[in-house]
Every structure is written in C-alpha cells, then in structure tokens.
Structure 1
Amino acid sequence: MAYATEKLDEEKVFKDPVHRYVHVRDRVIWDLIGTKEFQRLRRIKQLGTTFLTFHGAEHSRFNHSLGVYEIVRRIIDDVFAGRPEWNDDDRLLTLCAALLHDLGHGPFSHSFEKVFDFDHEDFTRKIIEGETEVNQVLTKVSADFPKQVAEVIAKTSEKKLVISLISSQIDADRMDYLQRDAYYTGVSYGHFDMERILRVMRPREDQAVIKQSGMHAVEDYIMSRYQMYWQVYFHPVSRSAEVILSKILHRAKDLFAQNFAFKHEPLHFYSFFHEKVTLEDYLKLDEAIMFYYFQIWQEEADPILSDLCKRFVNRNLFKYAEFDPAKEYKKLAKLTNLFEKAGIDPEYYLVVDSSSDLPYDFYRPGEEEERLPIHLLMKNGELKEFSRESEIVDAISGKRRTDHKLYYPADLILDDDASEMNKQIRKLLDIEN
C-alpha cells in the first residue's frame, strides 16, 4: 500500500473539549503528530499572555492545530466528498496543511516576532522543507509534497479552494480558535453554530462558499469574532502583560549590544541577538525556556531588566489610560519629560499600545491587500458577496476599529512622593491622588 493512502489498523482519537473527538485514520497524519517539531507546539500557548487575564487560557497551539485538522477533515470527508467541484486527490494535502499551519509559531508568538523582526510563517516553511522529522514524513508521500504543503500554508499554491479552507474570512483556523479560546477563557462571545456552517459549506473552484440558507449562522460567526477580538484578544490587561514582555526582550537585546555582563548568560538568545537565527536554535526556544530566563533575570544587576521580569513573573502589570495619539501628542511629550526628570525611563515605562481589527471586508479595487470575501450560494446558483445580503454584516463591513492606550507603572507614580513633579504626572494621567 502506498504511504499516502495508508490507513491505521484502528482509528486513533484525541478527546477534545471543543469538538468532542479528533479522529485520525491516515498514517501520514498520525506520523506527523508524533514528530518532535509538532510536539513542540504543546509548549507554546495559543493565547500568549492572556492567561494572566483569563486564568483558564493555558491551552496550546498543539490543541488548536488538532482542532483545525479535525474541522477540515469533517468538511472534506463529510460534506465535500463526492461533489464534482472537489478533487479528492487534494485530501491529504489539505489535511496536512491544516495540521501544520501553525508549526512555525514561537513562544509568545507576536511579541517575540516584533522584537526580533521575523515572521513565524517563514519558520513554518523552514520546518516543513528543512532537515526535520516533519519533512521526513512528508517526503515519504512524494519528493515535492513538502513544497506543496508549504505553498498552501503560505497562500502561494494554485489550489485556491484548499487555501480557503485554512485561510480566508471563514476558515477552519478561525472557527477553531474562536470556539477554543472562548471555552478556555470562559467567555460566551466566541460560540456560534459551527455544525450548521459546515453543513451548508460547498466547494467551488476558488473557495468554499455558503448556501444562502446558512446566512444567519455566518452572521453569528462574524459577530462572535468581533466580540472575541475586543473582549479577549485586545483585553487591556493582556496587552499590559504583552507590553512588559516586549520591553523585557528589548532590554535584554539592548544590554547585550552594550556588552552587559549578564550573571546568567542568555545562551538561548544569542542567535536572536545577532540576528542570525538558525532553525535549530529557533526550535529549542519555547515558553518554558523563556520563563526560566524571566525567573533568573530578576536577579540581574540591571534595575530595569530585573524590575520588568519581576513584574511579569509576579503579575505586577502596568496600568493604562485611554489615549489619542493624534490629539494628545503634546501630553505624551510632557509625560516623557516628567518621567525622565523623575528617573523613570520612558522608553520602558511609558508605552503607547494600539489595537486594530477589521471584522469583515471585501476586495475594493486599488487596495493593497486583497481580502477574499465570503460568498453566498443563492438558490438559482448565483454567487453573491455576503455583506450585500446581510444588513448586520454590511453595517460593520470595511470599518476598522482602532483603540489606543497609554501604559505606565502606577506603583512608581502613586508612591508617597508628594512632589510637584509627581502631582503633574498624576494630573496628566488623570489619576486621583
């Protein structure tokens, strides 16, 4: 039997709190799950610093990756199978891309990426096409199979329908993380009728479309996504933790550039500081290692690095104030000056953080980013862009919501110092004495 079509003697299942069970019958999928690169995802949290706000949010990218795979498996095996628009030869490719789509995420993914200026998707490709256990498994399917999988994840493949199942405005990735993140954070916002959406999803040449009868389930999904972003993903307390995390990494990087003598050498960070990151070094760094450094850096001689690490480890986070950078730039300049005079480094202790989200949009000619819209399949076979039929979605379509906050260490400002300088700082930040 060819490896690509080989089945396990008995179906394997993972008990899952969101989908009840994740079913694996394909040998290739089972072998991929067992690779060390995929197992590494157990040590990467799905929601980064959000566990400091919602204490249940300890789930991993391993959980999520299995969930995305399971949703895609249900779509292609239970809904698309046998339909003329679906090519069953793409089945294994789609399942592998779904399973491995987040393979390159690093610890505290987005903060980490911003500080060291790289993209996790580049590392996803390197893991899939490099000298790894994942690559060995995929190469057993065919010599060019790793490249095919990487191209689907990178959205450069010619197989647009396959891409849309994993990356579009209604895809398996979003459907899993909304429900999974809602479950683990304990909120009600992210729940929607996924089973209904899957039942009315249909394959077309370029993308999966939704039967008109499923319009209201998709409206619910889009509004769930909107609420999750503003109530969970952009929660100001989580963002405060992320600000501190970013500043820790910036401080360690700056100290290294200044030849600072660390008591505990940051061995795992050397290639990142030198901006010559190898795949081997990247795969060695997970959140357990990161926390180890945050613990020991509390003892460093540098007061800023030590303080920031103590704040993160012990959850002594920055407070925040609403801030409009377009109108309040003079206020920020005054605060920066006052912080400097007070001996509080504004580079690390006065931070403007912005959150922005576009809940749904469709392609408009002349825009840099092409956003593939959700299409409804009408009873007469015609396709219509979703917001043209839904008044609810039309109301938010193309409307980007942005929020700005100014983060600062309240404990350093609200101490017993009754000096005029501290009074000015408190007044500018609208803090009651």
Structure 2
Amino acid sequence: MDYANQKLAEEKVFKDPVHRYIYVRDQVIWDLINSREFQRLRRIKQLGTSYLVFHGAEHSRFSHSLGVYEIVRRISDDMFHGRPEWDESERLVVLCAALLHDLGHGPFSHSFEKVFNVDHENFTREILLGDTEVHQILMKVSADFPKKVAEVIAKTYSNKQVVSLISSQIDADRMDYLQRDAYYTGVSYGHFDMERILRVMRPLEDQVVIKASGMHAVEDYIMSRYQMYWQVYFHPVARSAEVILRKILQRAKELHDSGYEFAQPPTHFAAFFDRSFTLKDYLALDEGVMMTYFQLWMNERDPILSDMSDRFVNRRLFQYVDFDPGKDYRKLGELASLFKKAGIDPDYYLVDDSTSDLPYDFYRPGEEGERLPIHLLMPNGDIKELSRLSQIVEAISGKRRTDYKLYFPAELLVDGKKKAIKQQIVEMLKEGGV
C-alpha cells in the first residue's frame, strides 16, 4: 500500500478534555505527530503570558493543533464523506494542514515576533518546505505534497473549500481554541454548540456554508469569540506581562549591540540580534530556554535587564491606566520628561500599548483586505451572507474595537527619592484621559 493511504495496525487515541478523544488512523498523521518539529509545540504555550492571569492556562500549541486536526477529521470523515460536493482526494492534505497550521509559532509567539520582526507563518512554510523531519514525511506522500500543505495554510490553495476549513471566520482553528482556552482559563465565554455547527456545515462548490437552521448556533459562536477576546486574549494584566517580556528582549538586544559583557551571554538570541538567524536557530528556541535566560538575567549587573527579568519571572507586573492617543500624546511626552527627572527610564518603564479586534466582517467591494463571510444555505437553495439575516451579527459587523493602555511601575512612584516629581506623575496619571 502506498504511504498516503497507509493505516496504522491499531488506531491511536489521545484523551482530550475538549473533544474527549482524538483519533489517528493514518500513518502519515502519526509520523508527523512524532516528528521533532511537532513535538516542539509541547514547549510553546497556546496563550503566551496569560498563565500569569489565568493560572490554568498552561496548555500548549501541541494540544491545540491536535484539536484542530480532530475537528477537521470529523468534518472530512463524518460530515462531508460521501457528499458529491466534497472531493475525497483532498482528505489527507486538509488533515495535514490542520495538524501543522501552527508549526512555526515561536516562544511567547507574538511578543517574540514584535521584537525580532519575524513572522511565524513564514517559519511554518520553512518547516514544511525546508530540511526538516516534517518535510521528509510529507515528501513520502508525493514530491508536491509539502507545497500543497503549505498552500492550504497560506490560503493560496486552489480548493477554497479546503482553505476555509482551516482559515475563515468559522473554521476548525477558531472552534478549537475558543473551547480549549475557555476550558483552561476557567471562563464560560468560549463555549458554544460546536456539535450543532458541524452538523449543519455543507460543502458547496468553492466554499463551506451553514444551513440556515443553524444560524443561532453560529451567532452564539461569534459572540463567544467576541467575549473571549476582550475577557481573556486582551486582558490588560496579561498585556502588562507581554510589555515586560518585550522590554527584556529589547534591553538584551540593546546591551548586546553595545558590546556589554553579559554574565550569561545571550547565546540563543545572538543570531536574532544580528539578523543572521536560520531555521535551526529558531527551532532551538522554546519557552523553557527563554525562562532559563530570564532567571539567570535576574543576576545581571545591568539594573534594567535584571529588574525586568525579575518582574517577569516573579510576576511583579506594571500597573496600567486607560490611554487615549488622540488626546493624550502631548501628556505622554510630559510624563516621559517627568520620569527622566525622577530617574526612571521612560523607554522601559512608561509604555503605551494598544490592541484591537474585528469580531465579524464581510467583504466590501473596493475596500482593502479579503474577508470571506459566513454564508447561510437557505431552504430554497439560495445563499445569503450571515449579517443580512442575523440582527445580532449585523450589530457588530465591521465594527473594530480598540483598547489603549499606559503601563508603568506604580511602586517606583511611591519611594522617598524625588518625591515631589513622583507625586506630580501620580497626579497626572490620576487625571481624566490618562
């Protein structure tokens, strides 16, 4: 039997708190799971710094990736199997894309990406197409199979049905992470009726649609996503930890570039500081490695690197206030000047941060960006965009919400040195706006 169709002698089962069981029968999937690049995802947290807010949020991108695979396996093998609109030959490519879609994520993903100006999607592509165990496994299917999987993840694959199962406004990726993150953070927001949604999904030509009878389940899903973003993903305390994490890496790079002699040299980061990193350098980094450096850097003689590392490791986070950039940027400049006078470096200890989300949108001709909408299949066979029929979804469609915060170390503003200046800072922070 050829490798693409080879089955395991006995089905493998992962016990999972979200899907109960995750089933693996394909030899290709089993081999990919056991590759070193996929096993690395055990050492990357799904929610980055959120464990410092929600103590249960210790789950990994490994478990999430298995969950996305399981949802797509169920859709392909149970929901779409036998339907004339579904091409059974696409089964393996969509299963592999589901399993490997997050393969390129780095430690504390988005914070790391911002500091070093890298993109995890580019690394996913490099892992799929480069000199890796994953690439060797995919090549055993066919010479063009790694490229096909990469195209699905990059949303350039010719079969848009396949792409939409992994990347759309109602896809397996979102359906898993909402439920998984809700479970591990202990919140109720991310729960929705996934079983109902899967049962009303239908393959149609170049897209996947939802039967109109399932509209209310989709509304619940969209509202769950909306609540999870503002209650969990954009939590201001988790963002405080991200700010400090970015400042640790920024300070380490600044010291490295200046020729500073580290007690613990940043060996694993040097190639990133110099922009000479390779895929091998990237794969050598995980959150365990980074946390080891942070613990060692607590003893560095540089006071900023030492303090920032200690803050992150021991959860001494910054306080925050609301911040309106439209009104308060002049005031931010005044605050920065006062911080300097108080002997506190504003580049590291006065940080503005913003985050935004667009809970649902649909394509508007002439506007930038492709936003594939959720389409409903009406009883008479017509296709209608979701917000045209749902008042709930219409109310939030196209409405981007942005939150601005100003972060600072409150405890440094109450010690006895330069008390008058620090009191002036505190008064400014208490005023309206900031």
* Interval containing the TM-score (normalised by the shorter chain): over 0.9
SS across alignment from 2:268: helix
Q: Which residue of 2 aligns with 1:2?
A: 2
Report the Cα distance in structure 2 between the residues aligned to 1:42 and 1:105, rounded to whole angstroms.
11
Report the Cα distance in structure 2 between the residues aligned to 1:326 and 1:43, rounded to whole angstroms.
40
SS across alignment from 1:210: strand
The 8 Å contact of residues 164 and 208 in structure 2, kept in 1 or not, is answered as: yes
Q: Which residue of 2 aligns with 1:142?
A: 142
Q: Which residue of 2 aligns with 1:364?
A: 364
Q: Which residue of 2 aligns with 1:414?
A: 414
The runs of at least 4 consecutive aligned structure 1 residues that moved more than 6 Å come to none
Report the Cα distance in structure 2 between the residues aligned to 1:234 and 1:428, rounded to whole angstroms.
25
Q: Which residue of 2 aligns with 1:199?
A: 199
- The two structures have a TM-score, normalised by structure 2, of 0.98
SS across alignment from 1:15: strand
Q: Which residue of 2 aligns with 1:130?
A: 130
Q: What residue identity is the alignment partner of 1:227?
A: Q
Q: What residue identity is the alignment partner of 2:306?
A: S
Q: Which residue of 2 aligns with 1:323?
A: 323
Report the Cα distance in structure 1 between the residues aligned to 2:361 and 2:208, rounded to whole angstroms.
17
Q: What residue identity is the alignment partner of 1:306?
A: S
Residues 57-206 of structure 1 aligned to structure 2 (within 5 Å): 57-206=57-206
Q: Deviations over 1:57-108 (max 9, x none)?
A: 0000000000000000001111101111100000000000000000000000
Report the Cα distance in structure 2 between the residues aligned to 1:430 and 1:43, rounded to whole angstroms.
41
Q: Which residue of 2 aligns with 1:238?
A: 238
Q: Which residue of 1 aligns with 2:256?
A: 256
Q: Which residue of 2 aligns with 1:300?
A: 300
Q: What residue identity is the alignment partner of 2:430?
A: D
Q: Deviations over 1:322-377 (max 9, x none)?
A: 11011111211110000011111101100001010000000111222110000000
Report the Cα distance in structure 2 between the residues aligned to 1:376 and 1:136, rounded to whole angstroms.
40
The 8 Å contact of residues 352 and 405 in structure 2, kept in 1 or not, is answered as: yes
Report the Cα distance in structure 1 between the residues aligned to 2:258 and 2:419, rounded to whole angstroms.
34
Q: What residue identity is the alignment partner of 2:40?
A: R
Q: Deviations over 1:235-266 (max 9, x none)?
A: 00000000000010111111111111111111
Q: Which segments of 5 or more consecutive residues in structure 2 lack a partner in the other structure?
A: none
Report the Cα distance in structure 2 between the residues aligned to 1:360 and 1:134, rounded to whole angstroms.
34
Q: What residue identity is the alignment partner of 1:386?
A: L
Q: Which segments of 5 or more consecutive residues in structure 1 lack a partner in the other structure?
A: none
SS across alignment from 1:209: strand
Q: Which residue of 2 aligns with 1:346?
A: 346
1:43 aligns with 2:77: no
Deviates more, 1:230-239 or 1:199-208: 199-208
Report the Cα distance in structure 2 between the residues aligned to 1:226 and 1:272, rounded to whole angstroms.
35
Q: Which residue of 2 aligns with 1:283?
A: 283
SS across alignment from 1:13: strand
Report the Cα distance in structure 2 between the residues aligned to 1:28 and 1:311, rounded to whole angstroms.
44
Report the Cα distance in structure 2 between the residues aligned to 1:417 and 1:114, rounded to whole angstroms.
34
**Identical aligned pairs, as a percentage?**
73
SS across alignment from 2:430: coil
Report the Cα distance in structure 2 between the residues aligned to 1:336 and 1:34, rounded to whole angstroms.
51
Deviates more, 1:412-421 or 1:387-396: 412-421
Q: What residue identity is the alignment partner of 2:340?
A: E
CA RMSD of the aligned region, Å?
Answer: 0.8
Q: CA deviation at 1:418?
A: 6.8
Deviates more, 1:13-22 or 1:322-331: 322-331
SS across alignment from 1:328: helix
Report the Cα distance in structure 1 between the residues aligned to 2:183 and 2:387, rounded to whole angstroms.
28
Q: What residue identity is the alignment partner of 2:292?
A: Y
Report the Cα distance in structure 1 between the residues aligned to 2:257 and 2:384, rounded to whole angstroms.
55
SS across alignment from 1:268: coil
The 8 Å contact of residues 104 and 127 in structure 2, kept in 1 or not, is answered as: yes
The 8 Å contact of residues 49 and 242 in structure 2, kept in 1 or not, is answered as: yes
Q: Which residue of 2 aligns with 1:426?
A: 426
Q: Deviations over 1:290-322 (max 9, x none)?
A: 000000011111110100000000000000001
Q: Which residue of 2 aligns with 1:393?
A: 393
Q: Deviations over 1:390-413 (max 9, x none)?
A: 000000000000000000001101
Q: CA deviation at 1:422?
A: 1.1
Report the Cα distance in structure 1 between the residues aligned to 2:364 and 2:71, rounded to whole angstroms.
30
The 8 Å contact of residues 342 and 418 in structure 2, kept in 1 or not, is answered as: no
Report the Cα distance in structure 2 between the residues aligned to 1:370 and 1:127, rounded to whole angstroms.
26
The 8 Å contact of residues 45 and 60 in structure 2, kept in 1 or not, is answered as: yes
SS across alignment from 2:261: coil
- Aligned residue pairs total 431
Q: What residue identity is the alignment partner of 2:182?
A: A
Q: CA deviation at 1:7?
A: 0.7
Q: Deviations over 1:249-289 (max 9, x none)?
A: 11111111111111111110111011121011110000000
Report the Cα distance in structure 2 between the residues aligned to 1:107 and 1:149, rounded to whole angstroms.
23
Report the Cα distance in structure 1 between the residues aligned to 2:78 and 2:419, rounded to whole angstroms.
70
SS across alignment from 1:191: coil
Q: CA deviation at 1:416?
A: 3.5
Deviates more, 1:68-77 or 1:413-422: 413-422
Report the Cα distance in structure 2 between the residues aligned to 1:414 and 1:240, rounded to whole angstroms.
20
Report the Cα distance in structure 2 between the residues aligned to 1:51 and 1:198, rounded to whole angstroms.
30
Report the Cα distance in structure 1 between the residues aligned to 2:344 and 2:281, rounded to whole angstroms.
35
SS across alignment from 2:37: helix
